[in-house]
């Protein structure tokens, strides 16, 4: 999300919300699916492997945080109910920007996202299922790299260290760009070839960058809006990076 990956625009606090859905059937473009035929015609600049056959060296992949590692939508829904008595169903979160899909005051949305950005530990922001266990495994053989659109890296850095543990977090590289569209230079700087993000517009831009293969972390608001490689869960990411031989 920096929902951060998050769902925040660098300008006036506009936030988008994502919802994580687990156990859905694998779809075309997922790790066990096929890339749609329109994929290559839309992005002629790069050559893509169907994700089902990808072999990813753990040292060559980076991650967004909100909506990929952090379950920001769960926290958003919970805080809306606890603090404002507003009921939001996960299936209502159909747009990256919450104000575009909810009949909730933009001021309330901004207040909730401000807390998600500044105090993720205090509001009990939870990891997406299996994210921390897979990241700990990846950390055994490579340095973890996170590139988020959050404007301030400190709160989410503390959150990551708390949930990953000191051993896995040691040496982790974290960049807060403050801009959803400014991730490519950092991906190149760290020598990454793959990047997992839940914002399909960010992935569309990365798909036009030579040498970078984006992978969309599937969320309700990005499904059906792209023809890019995607994964449905951290178990799929594990299969791509750890259960295959990678160069």
pLDDT by residue (tens digit) across 131-187?
A: 999 999 999 999 999 999 999 999 999 999 999 999 999 999 999 999 889 999 999
pLDDT of amino acid 85:
87
Q: Please, what is the average pLDDT of the chain?
A: 79
pTM: 0.77
Residue 214 is inside which H or E element, if any? strand 213-217
Higher pLDDT, 5 or 106: 106
Two tokens, residue 210: 């030579």
Number of helical H runs and strand E runs in the chain: 9, 6
Do 156 and 176 meet the contact criterion of CB atoms below 8 Å apart? yes
User: Is residue 206 scored above 80 in pLDDT?
Assistant: yes
| CB burial readout 18-44, b (16+ within 10 A) else e | bbbeeeeebeebbbebebeeebeeebe
- What domains are defined for the chain? 38-70+127-241 (3.40.50.1000)
Report the pLDDT averaged over residues 10-33. 34
């Amino acid at each position: 999300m920096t929902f951060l990956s998050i769902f925040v625009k660098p300008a006036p606090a506009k936030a988008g919300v994502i919802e994580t859905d687990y156990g859905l059937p694998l779809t075309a473009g997922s790790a066990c699916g096929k890339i749609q035929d329109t994929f290559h015609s839309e992005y002629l600049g790069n050559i893509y492997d169907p994700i089902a056959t990808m072999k990813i060296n753990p040292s060559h992949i980076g991650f967004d945080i909100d909506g990929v590692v952090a379950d920001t939508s769960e926290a958003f829904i919970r805080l809306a109910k606890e603090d404002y008595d507003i009921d939001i169903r996960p299936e209502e979160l159909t747009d990256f920007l919450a104000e575009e899909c909810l009949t909730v005051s933009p001021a309330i949305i901004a207040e909730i996202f401000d807390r998600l950005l500044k105090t993720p530990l205090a509001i009990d922001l939870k990891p997406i299922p299996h994210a921390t266990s897979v990241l700990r495994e990846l950390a055994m053989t490579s340095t973890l790299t996170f590139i988020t659109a959050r404007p301030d890296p400190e709160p989410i850095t503390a959150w990551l260290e708390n949930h990953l543990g000191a051993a896995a977090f040691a040496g982790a590289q974290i960049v807060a760009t403050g801009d959803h569209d400014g991730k490519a230079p950092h991906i190149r700087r760290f020598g990454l070839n793959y990047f997992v993000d839940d914002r399909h517009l960010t992935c569309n831009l990365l798909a036009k960058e030579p040498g970078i293969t984006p992978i969309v972390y599937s969320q309700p608001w990005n499904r059906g809006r792209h023809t890019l490689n995607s994964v449905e869960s951290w178990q799929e990411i594990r299969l791509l990076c750890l259960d295959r031989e990678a160069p």
